[in-house]
Amino acid sequence: MSNFLKVKNLDVKFSTARGLLHAVKDVSFELNSGESLGIVGESGSGKTVLSRATMGLLTMSTAKKSGSVKLEDVELTELTREELRSKWGTEMAIIFQDPMTALNPVRRIGAQISEGPRVRMGLSKAEAKKHAIELLTLVQIPEPEKAMKKFPSQLSGGMRQRVMIAIALACSPKILFADEPTTALDVTVQAQILSLLTSLRKKLNMAMVLVTHDLGVVAGHTDKIAVMYAGEIVEFAKTEDLFRNVRMPYTEALINSIPRITTKSGTRLPVIDGRLPDPTIPLVGCGFAPRCKYATDKCRTEHPDLVDAGNGHMYRCFFPLKVMN
């Protein structure tokens, strides 16, 4: 596997009526070809902004971005808007959270899937239609020829999400960003969509960035995980290593809040008390300190750096949890 996506010191701020909102703070990570990265954190942690900033989807009139994003050694931050647009769909693609708002409600499914291949790949109308049917078959939509003629409102939530995946894959991207792709779906359909994404990633040798608030979602579908809190990566490790050797108390709290099959019906799940810090106010100390049961005065007054445990397992904590090997 070759390392083809490199994000270094990515920083994103937004000008708001309340002041400068610091959404992503000095984030760095690398992703190999064919690998899957999970970006996990609560709503407001910066994970969606990070994925969109990496793709170059943020409007520069409202967002102030700095740092480096390299895709196959091409510096994306130096490209013009038009040059960047040429890479969307063909090299980078995204699946948004809600297919009902992402899909055009007054256009048939077939037309929406065919548009990318016709514009980006120069396919004829007949070729694009054939390609669309192949894509619908790939994402396991039954009777694809009939589905081509339907409107989004005529499909179930799970089927609409499969259509979104088909649209994202239409021009054979090298990396797919999936932004909370299962949020509005029931548990059974969630599992089907995640399994589908994983099998397609492996089949097409495509890299994937899976953005979610649920650590349980990424457990069996990623090679490595970045845990975000208050715009920062607070823990980063290979998936198996992260679950076996949690170092950051915030990650531990996220894991403890995952529902388990052994939990008795009616039992209240553990919650993380408190809330994320205000992103318009500069952090003093560790951002998680007010909510952390292990916090000391040092945590409240000094900001921890991201340190390496020695095996690529990074964590941002003065008093990391003990390794359980």
- Neighbouring residues of 285: CB distance < 8 A, sequence distance ≥ 6: 299, 300, 301, 302, 303
- Neighbouring residues of 251: CB distance < 8 A, sequence distance ≥ 6: 215, 227, 234, 235, 242
How buried is residue 234: exposed, middle or buried, by Cβ count under 10 Å (0-12/13-18/19+)?
buried
Q: Is the pTM of this model over 0.75?
A: yes
Beta bridge partners of 226: 39, 236
The pLDDT-based confidence of 323 (bands split at 50, 70, 90) is low
Q: What is the mean pLDDT of the chain?
A: 90
Task: Map residue 101 onto helix, strand or coil.
Answer: helix
Residue 285 has a CB neighbour count (10 Å cut-off) of 18
Q: What is the pLDDT of residue 1?
A: 47
Q: What is the pLDDT of residue 63?
A: 86
Q: What is the pLDDT of residue 262?
A: 75
DSSP-derived pairing of the beta strands 63-71 and 3-16: antiparallel
Q: Which residues of 303-317 are buried (b: 16+ CB within 10 A; e: fewer)?
A: ebebeeeeeebbbbb
Q: Is the pLDDT of residue 271 over 90?
A: no
Q: Which residue has the tokens 């994003």?
A: 69
Using one digit for the tens of pLDDT, what is the confidence trace for 213-254? Answer: 888 888 889 999 999 999 999 999 999 999 999 999 999 999
Q: What letter represents residue 110's amino acid?
A: G
Q: What is the pLDDT of residue 216?
A: 82
Specify the DSSP element, H or E, that contains 6.
strand 3-16
Using one digit for the tens of pLDDT, what is the confidence trace for 280-296? Answer: 999 899 999 999 999 99
- Neighbouring residues of 114: CB distance < 8 A, sequence distance ≥ 6: 123, 125, 128, 129, 131, 132
Percent over 70 (pLDDT), the chain: 97
Q: What is the pLDDT of residue 196?
A: 85
Using one digit for the tens of pLDDT, what is the confidence trace for 66-92? Answer: 999 999 989 999 999 899 999 998 999
Average pLDDT over residues 269-278: 86
Using one digit for the tens of pLDDT, what is the confidence trace for 140-180? Answer: 899 999 999 999 999 988 889 889 989 999 998 999 999 88
Using one digit for the tens of pLDDT, what is the confidence trace for 120-129? Answer: 888 999 999 9
Q: Which residue has the tokens 């514009």?
A: 119
Domain boundaries, given as residue ranges, for the chain: 103-172
Q: Is the pLDDT of residue 264 over 90?
A: no
Beta bridge partners of 225: 38, 237
| Paired tokens of 193 | 């969509």
- Nearest C-alpha neighbor of 198 from the set 33, 36, 3: 36
Task: Map residue 82 onto helix, strand or coil.
Answer: helix
Residue 134 CA, chain-centre distance (Å), reads 26
